[in-house]
Structure 1
Amino acid sequence: MRVRRPSRSSEYVVVPADAVARAPRAADAAHAATLPLNALTAAQALDLLAVPEGGSLLVTGAAGAVGGYAVQLAAHRGIAVTALAREDDEELVRSLGAARFTGGAVGARSVDAVLDAAVLGERALAWVRDGGAYAGVIPHAEPAPERGVRVAAVEVAADGARLAELVRLVDEGVLTLRVAETYPLADAVKAHTRLAEGGVRGRLVLVP
């Protein structure tokens, strides 16, 4: 796929039509920008896990951008979600649809699957029952499989049709768009520094 690179004065960029979707009706540009990468990552990771309705899922990093979307999407599918996050994030992740919360204590082999948005690796894998499933969010960084657990990592791919479904869920109030902070493009270094500090709840957005 070739994308025409815009010049500094460009107002438009050409992308494949099947890679995009209309923005949510009630969202401004900054909030809409938080949806494609993060929500698609969560949705495609859940596809890899294939947890059935009524199954149990642990989401690590549940208060983060990917983790938050994963909690909402899984709960919407009728999956019993346990959210792993900081203690002061319990109210937030429960508001996103988590049935259970933990600040770190998880029983070994206690859930059907783990979506490891916090990149805990082998530690998170130990919480999956024998024959369950693990999905990471960084390709080639997932732990080695064991005990019959399916192990994979999502490599998010552009999908306009799927993105349109996610937009519909935003418009229906199922998904919440969260902007933690916005920065002008000139302050991109500050945004990266803030991201590296951790504890960001939502997305940092660069605006022109």
Structure 2
Amino acid sequence: MPARMMKAIRQHEFGGPDVLRYEDAPIPDVKAGEVRVRVHAVGLNPPDWYLRDGYKMLPPEWRPPVQFPVILGTDMSGVVEAVGDDVKDFSVGDAVYAMVRFPSGLAGDSRAYAEYVTVPASEVARKPAGIDHVHAAAVPMSLLTAWQFMIALGHDEPNPLQPSRHEPVPLKDRIVLVNGAAGGVGHFAVQIARWKGARVIATASGKNEAFLRDLGADEFIDYTRTNPEDVVRHVDLVIDAVGGPTTGRFLRTLKRGGALFPIFPLGFSGAEEAAKLGITVSATQVRSSGAQLAEIARVLDDGTIRVAIDSTFPLADARKAHERAAKGHIQGKIVLTVE
């Protein structure tokens, strides 16, 4: 019996946005423990372009083997179309959202840039009723990242980059600096810190000031005019949503006993300086969690946390969406819509 087909974005080689092809692909079979979802929207995240270009940002020995063709994408919102025989918590017709198989699907096993995707039932949660599929698809990886860094880790998997388990720190009555505050993770980190009672300093380009103050930032620094590390002192926590080799510059902004959480920790070389200053530097790998997405749904429903959409593109225009991402200065999230 011939396979049922769907439209998907696939690539047959590593490269830039031009390798993304809108083409036919088999609809995946639903297995035990899974649901199959008819996708309505897909959220874009940095791992999408990391995989697209062959994980060039990772050391060669860390790059997962990839078998082509591959379908990118982890974040989606849609409607359950089929359930595995042993799945009891979801039914056909349920509106759901998820971060699919992350990080276990780093080699391309998440496959959300498609009309249909199968998802382990443990990674799925009911979509917040108060937001549409576009906004729900923008949530999973970015808000789970902020949540697992700042609220609750939600898993016991070891972190190969550090010997100690990542632990969120108290936020109430603390001063929190969020760098890269207008982006996907950043705009959620600002809202979490404010919700939990912190005073928030947001760093982004000047055009984002009104946006971030509306989300709850108490102070704003335009990094194109002022280096935050030159003017900020004695903060309790820095969430560096940019991360990478430059994250060490924020050590001087922290008080003794403070913490620096780089969302992208690769390249940090200031461990010795941090130890001398009495500063904890810690990171974690975001992991799929249907239970945490169910908890998150409540604060999305009641408006405690809002989702900002930078731009939307039809699934067929995934290449254009990746080109938009490459330009940077994203305010919130980029989303693909699936008709």
The TM-score with structure 2 as length reference comes to 0.56
Answer whether contact 1:49 1:133 (CA < 8 A) is retained.
no
Task: Structure 1: state its 5+ residue gaps.
Answer: 1-5
Match of 1:123 in 2: 249
1:200 positional shift: 1.3
2:231 is equivalent to residue 112 of structure 1: no
Match of 2:285 in 1: 155
**Between structures 1 and 2, the one with greater helix share:** 1
Q: Deviations over 1:55-81 (max 9, x none)?
A: 110000111111000011111000111
Answer whether contact 1:58 1:113 (CA < 8 A) is retained.
yes
Task: Structure 2: state its 5+ residue gaps.
Answer: 1-5, 7-23, 28-37, 39-115, 152-166
* Number of residue pairs the alignment of both structures matches: 203
Match of 1:44 in 2: 148
Q: 2:261 aligns with which of 124, 135, 158?
A: 135
Q: Deviations over 1:137-172 (max 9, x none)?
A: 124344433112111223101122221121110100
CA distance in 2, matches of 1:151, 1:71: 19
Match of 2:314 in 1: 184
| Code of the aligned partner of 1:181 | S
Larger Rg: 2
Answer whether contact 1:139 1:155 (CA < 8 A) is retained.
no
1:41 positional shift: 0.7
CA distance in 2, matches of 1:52, 1:191: 35
| Code of the aligned partner of 1:197 | K
Answer whether contact 1:138 1:154 (CA < 8 A) is retained.
no
CA distance in 2, matches of 1:29, 1:90: 27
Match of 1:174 in 2: 304
Match of 2:121 in 1: 17
The TM-score with structure 1 as length reference comes to 0.89
Question: Which range is displaced more, 74-83 or 132-141?
Answer: 132-141
Runs (4+) off by over 4 Å: none
Aligned-residue RMSD, C-alpha: 2.0
2:187 is equivalent to residue 63 of structure 1: no
Relative contact order (alpha carbons < 8 A, sep ≥ 6): 1 or 2 greater?
1
1:95 positional shift: 0.7
Answer whether contact 1:109 1:129 (CA < 8 A) is retained.
yes
Q: Please give the secondary structure, in 2, of the residue aligned with 1:113.
A: strand
CA distance in 2, matches of 1:9, 1:184: 20
1:112 positional shift: 0.7
Answer whether contact 1:109 1:130 (CA < 8 A) is retained.
no
1:136 positional shift: 1.0
1:185 positional shift: 2.4
CA distance in 2, matches of 1:55, 1:70: 14
Q: 2:136 aligns with which of 22, 32, 36?
A: 32
**Between structures 1 and 2, the one with greater strand share:** 2
CA distance in 1, matches of 2:204, 2:296: 24
Answer whether contact 1:49 1:134 (CA < 8 A) is retained.
no
1:176 positional shift: 0.9
Q: Please give the secondary structure, in 2, of the residue aligned with 1:204.
A: strand
1:108 positional shift: 5.0
| Change over 3 Å in CA distance of 1:172–1:141 after alignment to 2 | farther
